Structures are given as C-alpha cells and as structure tokens.
Amino acid sequence: MTKFVAVCLQTLTLGSLYALIALGYTLVYGVLRFINFAHSDVVTIGAWLAFVFAGALGWAGTDSPFFAMPVILMLTMAACATIGFTIQRLAYRPLRHAPRLNVLITAIGVSLLLQNLGQLPWVFGTQPQSMPKLLSERALFYVADVKVPMVDLVVVGLAVVLLVALEVLVFHSKMGKAMRAVSYDERTAALMGINVDRVISMTFMIGSGLAAAGGMIYGLKYNQLSQTADALWVLLGLKAFVAAVVGGIGNVRGAVAGAFLIAFIEMFGAAYRSPQMRDVYVFAILIIVLLFKPGGLLGKAAVEKV
Amino acid sequence: MKSLAERAAAHRPPLAKAVVWSAWPIVAALGIAYLIQIALAPALSDFHGKLLVDIGIAIILGVSLNFVNGYAGQFSLGHAGFMAIGGYTAAALVFYGGLKLFGVPEEGGISGLHGGFLGPGELLLLAGCLVGGLVAALAGWVVGLPSLRLRGDYLAIVTLGFGEIVRVLLQQTDDVVTDPAKIEAAGPLELADHLGGGFGFSFTPDYVDPKNPFWVWLFVVVVLLAAYRLKMSSKGRALLAVRENEIAAEAMGIPTTRVKVNAFVVSAFFAGIGGALYAHELGNSLRPADLGFQKSIDLVIIVVLGGMGSISGVVVAAAGLTILPELFREFAEYRMIVYALALILMMILRPNGLFGIREIWELDVWKRLFHRRAR
Amino acid sequence: MSVAAAPAATAAVPALAAEGLSIAFGGLKAVTDLTLIVPPRGLHGLIGPNGAGKTTAFNLLTGVYRADHGTIRLAGERIDGRRPNQIARAGLARTFQNIRLFGELTVLDNVRVAGGVRARSGFARTFLRTPLYLAEEAAIAERSLELLDVLGIGHRAGEQAKSLPYGDQRRLEIARALATEPKVLLLDEPVAGMNTHEKHAMRALIQSLRERFGVAILLIEHDMGLVMDICEHITVLDHGCTIARGKPAEVQQDPAVIEAYLGAPESDDLDAGAGGAAGEGT
C-alpha cells in the first residue's frame, strides 16, 4: 500500500512536470503546425537560469526568504519567454511559408545551438551542478506512511496554478480566442483583423514561460543539473513531447491528459515491472497511439485539401 | 499510341550485353577497392589512413540515409538505431562466431584477427556485414510499415523514439563473454544477450584499420552504385515524385506508402552495413551511448548540407564533415555550434542544400561554362 | 438511379459509370446523388458555379475521398473504395485544378514517373539492370518523349518543371496523366488562366485526345464557350446537386442553370456560347 501511494505521488509530480512542458509543444503546434524541437532546450535553459539566478541573488538554501522561489520563477519565466520570442523571430518566422521539412530541420538546428551554447565555459559550462534547495525536503505530512515533502506540494501546486491560468487564457480570454482562431485557419484569422504575428509571438512566449517553470521544477525536485547537451534533457523533452502527441497534439487539454497518462505508465512500469525499461514503456505507448489513433486520444487528424 | 509493353519488347537488349552492362561496375568496385588497399593505403600515414576509412563509413551512412531523407523526402531521426543493429549483429557474429568456428587466434588473444587479407576472419566480417544489414533491414520494415503512413513530423518522432529504444535495450544486455570455453559451450541465442550493456561491445576484432580499408571502400562503391542506379530508374523517380508532391504521385498510380517503406528498408540495410564496418574499425568502440540521438543528428546534418537527393552532394558533405572536425580540433566545443548555425542558415538561405536534388555534374555552372544546351 | 436520363446506356460498357454518389463533410452536403455516365471515347463536361462540388466529385472518382453512398465503375469494374493509386492503375487519370507537378524534376521525368507505373521491374531488377529493366526504361523514355511532342512541349524535355510557363505546365499535367495509359481522363479546369489563343489550341488538343489515345474524357471547366463547343454531354451541379444534364443546347436553355449561374434570366456569356454552339450544332 505504501509503495502504491508513493508511486501515485511520484506520478502526480512527474505528470505535472510533463504537463507544463507538453503544453509548450502543443501550443506551438496548434498555431504553427510544426514540432518545435528546440522546446526541450528551453526547459534545460530554464533550469540552469534558475540555478544562476538563485546563486546571483544569494538565495541558495532553505534559509532563503519565502519569496525566493516565486521571484526566481518569475525571472526565469521572463528570461525564457524572451528567448522563445527571439528564436521565433529569427529562425522560424523567415520560414513561415516554407515546406514543413525545412522548418523541422531549422528547429533541430536551434535545438543543437541552444544545447551547445549552454555548454560553453562562459555560459553554463559542462560541470553538473545541483540546484539549491529552495524548498525543504522535510516531510510536511504523511499519507499512508509516505512522506509528502514541501517540494512535491509546491511542484504540483505550481503546475495546477499555471495550468488553470492557461485554461483561462486559452478558453476565456480574447487573446486565447485569437490563438484558437489562428490554429484553425491562419489566413482567415488574419482577414478577420487578428495580428497573426503577435499571436504567434505570444504563443511562443507563453510556451517558453511554461517550459521555464518546468525546468525550474525539475531542478527543485530532482536537484541534479547535468550539462545542457546531456541526453537526459533530450529524453525529458522527448517524453513530454510524447505526452503531447498521445493526448492529441494541438489540443491543450489533451496535453495535460497525455502528460499524466505518460507519467502514470512510466512510474508504475518502473515500480512494478522494470525500472530500466521506463523509457521503452513511454515510447511503446507513443507507437501504439500513433498506429491506432494518430490524432491522439483527444485530437483529430487534419485533412489536406486536394 | 503504342503501349509500354509493346515498346519494351522492341527495346530488349541481348542478354550478354545486359550482363556486361550490369556487372562491370561491380568488377570495377572490386578493382578500385583492391587498388586502394594495395596502392593507396600503405602510402598514407596512420592518421590519414584512419581518415580515409572514416570518410568511407561516413559516405555509406550518409548515402544510406539519403534514400529516406533525400529521395523520399521523409524525415528519419533514428538512423543511428539501424547502424547500431547492424553493428551489434555483426560484432556478435564475428566475435562469437569467429571464436566458435576457428578457436582463439595465434596473436591478439580473443580479439585477434583470424587470418590476413581475405582470410577466414575477413570472410566472416563480410558475412557479418551482410547479416547485419539484413537484420537492420528487417527492423526498418517493422518500424517503417506502420509509421510511414503518418505525416512527416510524426515519422521524425517515431524514428527518434525507435533510436532511443534500441539504445536502451542494448544498454540492458549482459557483459560480453570472454572465456573461450564458455563461448564454445553456449548457444547462439544465449550469446545474443551478451552484448556488453552500457560498456559496449569492447572485444570486436579490428578487421578494418588504416592499412586495410578494402571492405569499407568495396561497400562504398556498392552503396554509391545502388544509389545511382535507383535514382536514375523509374523506382527512383517514383520516390522523388512522392517527395515532390505525394498527392499527385498517388494520383499517378504510385503506391506511396509502399514506396516509402521500400526506401526505408533499403536505407536501413546499408546503415546496418555501415554500422558493421564501424564496429570493427580500429580505434572505435561500439557503445550504445555513441549510437543514439546525437549520431542520428550527425547523419541528418550530412544529408541536409549535402543536398537531400544528391548523391555527390552527400559524398562531399560526408567527406567534409569527417575532415573538418579533425582540422579544427582545438575548436571542438564550437563544432556543434557551427553545424547548428549552418543548418539554420542553410534552411533560410539555401534550403536545398549544397546541390539540391541534382548531382554535381548536373549543375548550371557547368552549362554556363561550356555553353551546353540543357539535356 | 436515373440511368435512363444518361446517353449511350445501350451501347458498349460505359468507360465511367458513377451512380448515386454522395458525400457530406460534417453538416455540409458536398455532393448529393451524383450520376455520371461517360461512354468510351466520350467527352463529357461537368460545370457549375464555384463551390458546386465539381472538384469534390473528381476527388470521389479518383479515390481521394470515400463516398458515403454510391458506386463507381470503370469499364464495368467496381473501383469505389480503392486507394487512389489503385484507381489510377485501373485506368483513371486526372489533372489538378491547382497544378501539382513534380517541380524539381525535369519535364521528361514528370512524364516518365507516370509512365513507370506500367513497368514490371522491381527493386532487384533495377539494381541488377536486367534486360527487362533496360527494355522498359528505354520504352518509357521513348513513349514519354512522344507524349511530350504530341502535347507540344517536347522541346522543353530537359527543363525543370517548375520553370515552365503556365500554359505549358497545364500541358505537362495532361501528358503526365496520359502516360499512365488511362481509359478515362479527368481534366480539372484545363484552360483556366489561359488567353484566347492558348484556349483555342487546347480545344483542338482535347478533342484529338480521344481518337489518339482511345480515352474518354470528363472535363470540369468554367469557360462556357469551350464546354458548349466540345462536350457531347453536360452535367450541371449546384450546391452538390445535379440541376440539369443533357446535350449542351438543352442545358444552355435550362432556366435552372441560368439562374444558378446568374440569378437572372439574361446573360451575355451564355448567349454567346449558345449562339456559337447552336451554329455548329454539337
């Protein structure tokens, strides 16, 4: 029973993490119809920036003020939003009407660029670091003998807050309506007076901001920050991407559903079957979903006009 | 107007002529590879010799990926996975098979070579390459058949996932068995599980070294020949058509999914051979971590920069991207940054790569120089 | 099923017989109960205002869409439900409204691609360059060049398809479609965007295709002059429904047709077309 509860808790935290990252993929896919391979690298950079900001502001331990985490979060999200905006403006916008393959390749180029720039000695370097423990790991309370630390609560809480904020934005605000309009039909949206460029920039910024939050959460929860080009980050982004696809890429609620589903399969598979095969389980789900329902669980496949 | 079948009957060449026409490049391949072996290789220093071998392997891998990313215009991000499958299959066959069949060699211990040039060991390597290629091709069929029905970006993800799965599975395998007696006693299936895990398959005999580039260059010519013959044929044009406009290709009677899968299988076959040769090269170690996403990206870069669909372009890019890191050793950290910028700028400024879909001898510049009319 | 209303039902098996075709996209009934019967070597027209469902009809015939109801027979053989490439190989070829050439390939290669569909050589024969393969390749090249010459673009064989002038691109699409040795050819707005001179040339060309290639033609066009002039039979669609069918002279006078196009009883276009067609007696 204890194990079950513990794994459930892990699923919640991991799912929250995947959800934040998956949303970035799905939002961008929704408006631009392409997979932003560089998204996971924004997560990485978010994690590292949080580390750098924490160090710079001198908040490196649990004795730091209670507002330390929110402030660092804001800074990191803002910084990554700027990065996302810049990437879109410089690398993707010139290719707005180019064949999809070309944009994909560009995205890979941007991804490689971010990864390797991050490893330069005068940026983040190649030494792994550990994230300062801004949040206590002491048990806040216990559920069925499983300790629930502050960290986990904050992670899930933060994710919930951001997800609700996003839901409100996308489905109950004017900007959100504009985003959805662009995702249905870019040309018509433009004809209706929507500033498509602004919507796209906004989408990238939001996605990158969420990625930053995800990165910081990752650092807080799992502590170890490996170098930016480490396979670990690629794998994290990849699994979040799988979550977005499984839920139905382009579908905001699908991304969240997919994230928790993937986290569930990964955690329970690792706990009850084989820990080394956890990644395989995730990819297996991707392949199964793509084979039988390519549009994802909540999505629908797009039709091309002949 | 006469139908195709009627005309074909009229154009049929005599058998002897066709055989000569078909076979002469293979003979030439053997000749060229042999010449390189006995004339060129001994004259080069170890450094240059290794470079020559590395270029050859890069060409095989790049041209093999060109079938999918170039001709068919699909986007595979898991090519290293096929390389790994071929490499490991060959390594297991050559190492374990060699010890089982021929016992421990006189020199070099368990990793020693069995015989010299064209000796039993090298023939085993040839077998390893072909079997490795076939197993990789089978994997290509299994992966390609379901995923090539999906849209372009989805294929990228699936192949990426496939490459990662291969890597993870290989990392789960047990240590390589090094006791000749145990190897003798064990059955093939049992040995198949002992591929070195995370440490890699470290005992592969080094049949491919700077002084022995024969097999690499033989396969280079074979791959180039296959690529060329395919591109200049109806089947090749069908592939290119699928890439240009899939809907129109389908409307002209081309079974687009089947064509894409075939390209994928052929591509995987040659990647397997490339992997097999890579596994047996002096100085290389066969490790799952080296054959993951990063390697796949390296290969994609070669194809993108060379011009997707251009054989000569990919050859030039493969050679260039093998030599450049050696020349700029001190700037190793910046290597990937330069590649990344090259990719981004390429896509914005010259998306068709160096030569686009055309070969180096088809470029407009020659036409302008020699005032030749368009063919 | 209104087979009685269609011509040539007594003679040979129709080249193309679509009956009761219907498709709806969500709530939008794109095509309703469409019946098209084209006899061998016939030349039929499919007209209607924009959005009437004409290209959708083509997409149904070629297998791009799957009809909700109805059957399609090509020379008596059922082809509905098959994939587009199977239908093309069965003998139904088409051109596209928004030209879909293989841009990067040469003009000759565009046609050769389609011609290669009838070849029997597989991968093995391709790699080994067997006599059959060599024979077929030579035959394909020869036939493709001939097709290009018939269509008047043989001199452009080595050029890149995307660099062709517009009129030649349309001709190339037709050459390509013919290379598949079809029984029925679907032409989607073959003279769209052409000037009078080019249209005139195309008019003669299209008519000649039937004898030369033994092919039946179904034509979508907006140029009423051309349609009334060369088509033996016309079907008129509006909002997916058939509002008239018959010989050009009958269709022109049909008030439903006139109203669908213009909403008013008089029109310069139709009168001019009617005058010309009546004079030549289609």
* A292 has a chain B CB within 8 A of its CB: no
Is there a single domain that holds both residue C189 and residue C244? yes
CA atoms within 13 A on the CB side of B340: 21
Is B15 among the domain residues? no
Compare B160 and C93 and report the one with higher pLDDT: C93
The phi, psi pair for C92, rounded to 5°, reads -115, 115
pLDDT, mean of residues C121-137: 85
With CB atoms and an 8 Å threshold, state whether A112 touches B339. Answer: yes
Is C47 among the domain residues? yes
Residue B85 to residue B266: CA distance in whole angstroms: 14
Is B306 among the domain residues? no
Chains near A with 3+ CB pairs less than 8 A apart are B, C
- Taking 60 as the threshold, does the pLDDT of residue C266 lie above it? no
pLDDT, mean of residues C101-109: 93
Predicted confidence at residue A61, as pLDDT, reads 64
Residue C63 to residue B246: CA distance in whole angstroms: 14
pLDDT, mean of residues C94-112: 93
Sign of CA dihedral C167, C168, C170, C171: positive
pLDDT, mean of residues A175-203: 87
pLDDT, mean of residues B218-223: 92
Residue B65 to residue A27: CA distance in whole angstroms: 31
Q: Which amino acid is at B250?
A: E
Is C35 among the domain residues? yes
Count of the separate structural domains present in chain C: 2
pLDDT tier for residue C3 given thresholds of 50, 70 and 90: very low
Predicted confidence at residue A189, as pLDDT, reads 87
pLDDT, mean of residues A144-159: 81
Predicted confidence at residue C8, as pLDDT, reads 47
Q: Residues for chain C: how many in total? A: 282
Identify the burial level of A62 via C-beta atoms within 10 angstroms of its C-beta, where 0-12 means exposed, 13-18 middle and 19 or more buried.
middle
Predicted confidence at residue B371, as pLDDT, reads 57
Question: From its phi and psi, is residue B197 left (phi > 0), alpha (psi between -120 and 50) or beta?
Answer: left
- Taking 90 as the threshold, does the pLDDT of residue C63 lie above it? yes
pLDDT tier for residue C131 given thresholds of 50, 70 and 90: confident
The phi, psi pair for A28, rounded to 5°, reads -65, -40
* C113 has a chain B CB within 8 A of its CB: yes
Tens digit of pLDDT for each residue in B27-68?
888 888 888 888 887 888 888 888 899 999 999 999 999 999
- Taking 60 as the threshold, does the pLDDT of residue B98 lie above it? yes
The 3-class SS string of B280-327 reads: CECCCCECHHHHCHHHHHHHHHHHHHHCCCCHHHHHHHHHHHHHHHHH
Is there a single domain that holds both residue C190 and residue C275? yes
> Where is the domain boundary, C168, C194, C209?
C168
**How far does C167 lie from chain B, in Å, by closest CA?**
19
Is there a single domain that holds both residue C156 and residue C195? no
Contact of C145 with C154, CB cutoff 8 Å:
yes
- Taking 60 as the threshold, does the pLDDT of residue A67 lie above it? yes
How many angstroms separate the most distant Cα atoms in chain B? 72
Predicted confidence at residue B367, as pLDDT, reads 65
Is there a single domain that holds both residue C19 and residue C69? yes
pLDDT, mean of residues B336-340: 87
The residue of B231, B233, B355 whose CB has the most chain C CBs within 10 angstroms, and thus the best one to mutate to test that interface, is B233
What secondary structure letter does DSSP report for B64? Answer: H
User: Which residues form the domain of B122?
Assistant: 24-292
pLDDT tier for residue B362 given thresholds of 50, 70 and 90: confident
Residue C246 to residue C228: CA distance in whole angstroms: 11
The string of DSSP letters for B141-160 reads HHHHHHHTTS-HHHHHHHHH
Residue of B nearest to A288 (CA): B146
Predicted confidence at residue C117, as pLDDT, reads 85
pLDDT, mean of residues B276-298: 90
The 3-class SS string of chain A reads: CHHHHHHHHHHHHHHHHHHHHHHHHHHHHHHHCCCCCCHHHHHHHHHHHHHHHHHHHCCCCCCCCCCHHHHHHHHHHHHHHHHHHHHHHHHHHHHCCCCHHHHHHHHHHHHHHHHHHHCCCCCCCCCCEECCCCCCCCEEEEECCEEEEHHHHHHHHHHHHHHHHHHHHHHHCHHHHHHHHHHHCHHHHHHCCCCHHHHHHHHHHHHHHHHHHHHHHHHHHHCEECCCCCHHHHHHHHHHHHHHHHHHCCCHHHHHHHHHHHHHHHHHHHHHCCHHHHHHHHHHHHHHHHHHCCCCCCCCCCCCCC
Closest by alpha carbon to B273, among B211, B204, B223?
A: B223
* B161 has a chain A CB within 8 A of its CB: yes
With CB atoms and an 8 Å threshold, state whether C134 touches B13. Answer: yes
The residue of B7, B228, B242, B252 whose CB has the most chain C CBs within 10 angstroms, and thus the best one to mutate to test that interface, is B252
Sheet of strand C92-94: strand arrangement: C92-94, C184-188, C216-220, C43-47, C233-238, C241-246
- Taking 60 as the threshold, does the pLDDT of residue C232 lie above it? yes
Contact of B160 with A245, CB cutoff 8 Å:
no
Residue B113 to residue A130: CA distance in whole angstroms: 47
- Taking 70 as the threshold, does the pLDDT of residue C270 lie above it? no
Is there a single domain that holds both residue C149 and residue C30? no
Q: Which of A104, A235, A286 sits opposite B75 (nearest CB)?
A: A104
**How far does C148 lie from chain B, in Å, by closest CA?**
13
Identify the burial level of A81 via C-beta atoms within 10 angstroms of its C-beta, where 0-12 means exposed, 13-18 middle and 19 or more buried.
buried
Residue B214 to residue B34: CA distance in whole angstroms: 6
Which residues lie closer than 8 Å to A19 by C-beta, 6 or more apart?
A159, A163, A243, A255, A256, A259, A260
**Structural tokens at position A94:** 């010139």
Average pLDDT of the residues of chain C: 86
With CB atoms and an 8 Å threshold, state whether B289 touches A231. Answer: yes
C-alpha triplet B87, B92, B96: angle, nearest 5°: 150
pLDDT tier for residue B356 given thresholds of 50, 70 and 90: confident
- Taking 80 as the threshold, does the pLDDT of residue B216 lie above it? yes
Question: From its phi and psi, is residue B263 left (phi > 0), alpha (psi between -120 and 50) or beta?
Answer: alpha
Residues of A in contact with C96 (CB under 8 A): 306
Contact of C102 with B241, CB cutoff 8 Å:
yes
What are the Cα distances from residue B158, in Å, to A238, B153, B189, B275?
Answer: 11, 9, 28, 21
- Taking 70 as the threshold, does the pLDDT of residue B206 lie above it? yes
Is B329 among the domain residues? no
Is the pTM of the predicted complex or chain greater than 0.90?
no
| Strands C28-38 vs C184-188: parallel, antiparallel or unpaired | unpaired
User: Which residues form the domain of C239?
Assistant: 3-91+182-280
- Taking 50 as the threshold, does the pLDDT of residue A31 lie above it? yes
Choose the most confident range, by mean pLDDT, from A62-76, B111-125, B180-194, B242-256: B242-256
The phi, psi pair for C17, rounded to 5°, reads -135, 100
pLDDT, mean of residues A32-41: 88
With CB atoms and an 8 Å threshold, state whether B341 touches A94. Answer: no
Predicted confidence at residue A146, as pLDDT, reads 77
Residue B303 to residue B314: CA distance in whole angstroms: 6
Which residues lie closer than 8 Å to A291 by C-beta, 6 or more apart?
B146
Is B357 among the domain residues? no
- Taking 70 as the threshold, does the pLDDT of residue A138 lie above it? no
What value of ipTM does the predicted structure carry?
Answer: 0.84
Q: Scanning the structure block, which residue is given the tokens 């996209």? A: C25
With CB atoms and an 8 Å threshold, state whether A286 touches B344. Answer: no
Identify the burial level of C192 via C-beta atoms within 10 angstroms of its C-beta, where 0-12 means exposed, 13-18 middle and 19 or more buried.
middle
Mean pLDDT is lowest, of A248-262, B261-275, C121-135, C256-270, for: C256-270
With CB atoms and an 8 Å threshold, state whether C113 touches B238. Answer: yes
* A306 has a chain C CB within 8 A of its CB: yes
pLDDT tier for residue B100 given thresholds of 50, 70 and 90: confident
Is B35 among the domain residues? yes
Percentage of chain C with pLDDT > 90? Answer: 60
Predicted confidence at residue C275, as pLDDT, reads 41
Residues of A in contact with C57 (CB under 8 A): none
Contact of B150 with B66, CB cutoff 8 Å:
no
Stretch 77-96 of chain A: residues touching chain C, C-beta under 8 Å: none
Percentage of chain B with pLDDT > 90? Answer: 36
pLDDT tier for residue A238 given thresholds of 50, 70 and 90: confident
Helices A68-87, A39-57: axis angle to 10 degrees equals 140
Count of the separate structural domains present in chain B: 1
| Strands C69-74 vs C43-47: parallel, antiparallel or unpaired | unpaired
Mean pLDDT is lowest, of A57-61, B242-246, C165-169, for: A57-61
Percentage of chain A with pLDDT > 70? Answer: 93
pLDDT, mean of residues A22-43: 88
Predicted confidence at residue C276, as pLDDT, reads 41
Residue C142: strand, helix, or coil: helix
pLDDT tier for residue A44 given thresholds of 50, 70 and 90: very high
Is B349 among the domain residues? no
Is there a single domain that holds both residue C126 and residue C200? no
Compare C96 and C261 and report the one with higher pLDDT: C96
pLDDT, mean of residues B197-218: 87
How many angstroms separate the most distant Cα atoms in chain A? 63
- Taking 50 as the threshold, does the pLDDT of residue C281 lie above it? no
Predicted confidence at residue C9, as pLDDT, reads 47
pLDDT tier for residue C263 given thresholds of 50, 70 and 90: low
Tens digit of pLDDT for each residue in B4-28?
777 777 788 888 888 888 888 888 8
Predicted confidence at residue A163, as pLDDT, reads 86
Is there a single domain that holds both residue C243 and residue C200? yes
How many angstroms separate the most distant Cα atoms in chain C? 68
Closest by alpha carbon to C243, among C258, C224, C232?
A: C258
A·B CB contacts under 8 A: 117
Which residues lie closer than 8 Å to B330 by C-beta, 6 or more apart?
none
pLDDT, mean of residues C216-237: 92
Contact of C24 with C33, CB cutoff 8 Å:
no
- Taking 50 as the threshold, does the pLDDT of residue A123 lie above it? yes
* A301 has a chain C CB within 8 A of its CB: no
pLDDT, mean of residues A36-46: 91
**Structural tokens at position A189:** 């949206």
- Taking 80 as the threshold, does the pLDDT of residue C262 lie above it? no
Tens digit of pLDDT for each residue in B140-178?
999 998 888 777 777 888 898 889 889 989 988 888 888
* A31 has a chain B CB within 8 A of its CB: no
Residues of B in contact with C129 (CB under 8 A): 18, 21-22, 229
Residue C228's domain is classified under what CATH number? Answer: 3.40.50.300
What secondary structure letter does DSSP report for C160? Answer: B
Paired strand residues for C73: C17, C78
Residue C115 to residue C181: CA distance in whole angstroms: 8
With CB atoms and an 8 Å threshold, state whether C132 touches B266. Answer: no
What are the Cα distances from residue A230, in Å, to A37, A44, A126, A149, B118?
Answer: 15, 10, 9, 28, 42
